[in-house]
A and B are shown apart, each in its own frame.
Chain A
Amino acid sequence: MSESPGASFREFDLFVPTPEHALLAQTLHQFVAREVEPQAAAHDRSESFNLALFHRAGELGLLSVTLPEEYGGAGLDASAAVLVCEALASSDPGFALAVLAHSVLFAQNLAVNGNELQKKHFLPDAASGAKIGGLCMTEPAVGTDVLALRTRAVQSGEDYVLDGVKTFITNGGIDEHTLGDVFIVYATTGPERISSFLVEKGMAGFRLGQKWKDKLGMRASFTAELVFEGVRVPLSHRLGQEGEGTLHMMRNLEVERLTLAAMSLGIAQRCIEVMIRYANERKSFGKPLREHGQIQRYIAESFAEYRAARTYVYDTARRMDLRATGQRIDADATKLFASQVGKRAADHAIQVLGGYGYMGEYVVERLWRDAKLLEIGGGTLEAHHKNLAKDLARDPARVRR
């Protein structure tokens, strides 16, 4: 008897769609337990980026899951990128953010928007982690309103001259004295004309500005202000054509938002596990916490929300073509939803653990602080509201598709 289509449909695993994804998930699980978790609290406390762990992630291929194989990547898809971000964030969201800024915002961006020479030159080192990359979009006076960028690039002979300041740049520095290695910088090359440039450490006039200390969360990633003072960037370092910056930005924002949403999944997952364990072990009024209705609500709602968010994120990943745009609606909506699910789960976990939840030792305190950034970075909740309302007004049929 032939197998009914129903059976294979039921067996399809959205979260690990192929054997390669399953192996990746296994490697991530082991790597996180053995190498990420033991260092997470210390790097949060010292507000420092763990470069050695980053190199180790590079060695395992975790920095380059989506990069083409010819540049040292694994050539996998958005689902693989989501697996990486979810797993790392279940233990150390700060480190996960540094990995995401490097591999999604810089390397994947370059893989899609760069030319052959640029990819050959920069991607192998990005894949191995030998060089650490980031993306420069936000400026001191310009956040969500990206078209109002003030950093300027003016062509002068064979170069562009870059002037301006970028801020809140993840991986902007490796430590307080060391600049990150290479960045994609969005700058204006005319009115409402944004272009993208590759800027490297060592270019005259490019330096580390203010180091952001005392961040609420994501303290294991290094956030810096970067200053460009008359930096001469060769024409060969421009991505695509002049004025294509907005397109590059839009192409990359979709996978950026999806992977940030995946980080919120990791946070939620861990918080739910902590809640369940604690509510089973801890007793009050003569019975385990889990038998108290108020506690049940925290656990049950967090779980249901997490599963809904996870399914939405992985289903969007399944459909995402990393080389094309067209999924802005789901990219915005997944992050809008998942980021709040992550934050609520962390909040619920602290509530279930009571005083212990408020203490660093029980992890959820750190995750609660980390969770907040995901409602701001890579698109504020309000930016997602704006985009979604606008995109859905243009395409109301999308609701049923």
Chain B
Amino acid sequence: MKIMVCLKQVPHQDARLDVRPDGGWIQEDNIKFEINSYDTYALEEALRIKDAGGAEVVVVSIGPERVTQSLRTALGMGADRAVHVKDPEADASDPLGVAKILAAIAKAENPELILMGLMADDGNSAAVPPMLAELLGFASTTSVMKVTRSNGSLQAERELEGGALEVVELTGPSVLSVQTGINQVRYASLKGIMAAKRKPIDTKSVADLGLAGKVGAAAAKIKIEKIYPPPKGKGAEILTGSTDEIVNKLVGKIKELGLL
């Protein structure tokens, strides 16, 4: 079985984020990057399938040279090889552009299963996995909490509104987008890190994938007009009363917000 795992490199959760002077994106110089947290759970799920019965795990990422670090992390954790789409032509692709690139790689790799995070910590669009499935004609589901395989089909447990769960069965090659927290993500052991040195990272350009002019900024139908931090407002509400009253009001607020 071959599993393709799509990883996005995003700003580190501890990074200080400043908006670029043109407002188009954040300043990326001098900040640390890491694998999108949702994607790390997808990778761990793939590695567990590999550990349980053998699978080849191929990790794929799009981005500049720094993305190599994230791919090496994945190889250190146990992925078998990596494909890196490193081409400025791919910059500023919209979700459809990203899905086209991933679909081109999937067509070449021919995986039975594609795993990726439900969304990216930075973009939050959650659009790529279903688009990718559509382009490939694969079965697909989202917000997956658990994956099991039996008799050639795939069962995925999904999280629904309010914490309810749903089990779906997928037939044939599938794209699953996974929720965070579904497993305990492993660290790369020293053995894994040293083994990763010998694992291949295959670099591709947009032209290699036959997508020249079809992805990237020029082809994007969605362009980021501007990003900005939320304006500072007077959103805070001070609860008053006895401790019990405050607690009751607080619980009420939490319920009201659907957090409980």
- Chain A residues with Cβ below 8 Å from B68 are 19
Determine whether A234 belongs to the interface, using a CB cutoff of 8 Å to chain B.
no
Tell whether, in the assembled complex, residue A60 and residue B69 are in contact, meaning their CB atoms are under 8 Å apart: no
Residues in chain B near residue A60, CB distance under 8 A: 187, 189-190
A69 at the interface (CB under 8 A from B): yes
Separation of A23 and B193 alpha carbons in the complex (Å): 7
A268 to B238, CA, bound (A): 38
Q: Give the distance to chain B from A104, nearest Cβ to Cβ, in Å.
A: 16
CB of A30 within 8 A of CB of B189, answer no
Contact-size category for B: 10 to 19
Is B76 in contact with chain A by the CB < 8 A criterion?
Answer: yes
Report the minimum CB–CB distance from A272 to chain B (whole Å).
Answer: 15
CB distance from B223 to the nearest CB of A (A): 30
State whether B191 touches A61 (Cβ < 8 A). yes
B190 contacts which of A19, A30, A74 (Cβ < 8 Å)? Answer: A74
Q: Which residues of A in the span 28-80 have a Cβ within 8 Å of any Cβ on B?
A: 30-31, 59-62, 64-65, 69, 74-76
Q: What's the A-B contact tally at a CB cutoff of 8 Å?
A: 46
**Beta-carbon contact of B194 and A27 below 8 Å:** no
B74-115 contact mask (Cβ, 8 Å, vs A): 1 or 0: 001000000000000000000000000000000000000000
Question: Is A65 a contact partner of B190 (Cβ separation < 8 A)?
Answer: yes
Whether A74 lies near B193 (C-beta < 8 A) is: yes
Question: A20 CA to B188 CA in the complex, in Å?
Answer: 10
Q: Are B190 and A24 in contact (CB under 8 A)?
A: yes
Nearest A residue to B184, CB-CB: A34
Chain B residues with CB under 8 Å of A61's CB are 189-191, 193
Contact B197 A20 (CB under 8 A): yes
A59 touches B189 (CB 8 A): yes
Q: Which single residue of chain A is at the shortest CB-CB distance from B185?
A: A30
Closest CB in chain A relative to B67 CB, distance in Å: 12
What class of interface size applies to chain A in its complex with B? 10 to 19
- Closest chain B residue to A127, Cβ basis: B190
Q: How far is the CA of A241 from the CA of B193 in the complex (A)?
A: 37
Are A74 and B191 in touch, CB under 8 angstroms?
yes
- Chain A contacts of B193 at CB under 8 A? 20, 23-24, 27, 61, 74
- Least CB separation from A21: chain B residue: B193
Contact residues of A between 237 and 277, Cβ < 8 Å to B: none
Whether the Cβ atoms of B188 and A23 lie closer than 8 Å is yes
Are A27 and B187 neighbours in the complex by a CB distance under 8 Å? Answer: yes
B188 CB contacts on chain A under 8 angstroms = 23, 26-27
* Contact status B190-A31, CB under 8 Å: no
A30's partner among B69, B72, B187, B196 (CB-CB below 8 A) is B187
B73 touches A23 (CB 8 A): yes
B contact residues vs A (CB 8 Å cutoff): 68-69, 72-73, 76, 187-191, 193-194, 196-197
Extra A-B contacts (9), CB below 8 Å, given A23-B193, A26-B188, A27-B76: A19-B68, A19-B197, A20-B193, A22-B72, A24-B193, A27-B187, A27-B188, A59-B189, A62-B190
* 5 cross-chain pairs, A with B, having the tightest CB-CB distances, nearest first: A61-B190, A74-B190, A27-B187, A23-B193, A30-B187
Q: What are some 18 contacts across the A-B interface (CB < 8 A)?
A: A19-B68, A19-B197, A20-B197, A23-B73, A23-B188, A23-B196, A24-B190, A26-B73, A27-B76, A27-B189, A60-B187, A60-B189, A60-B190, A61-B189, A74-B190, A74-B193, A75-B194, A76-B190
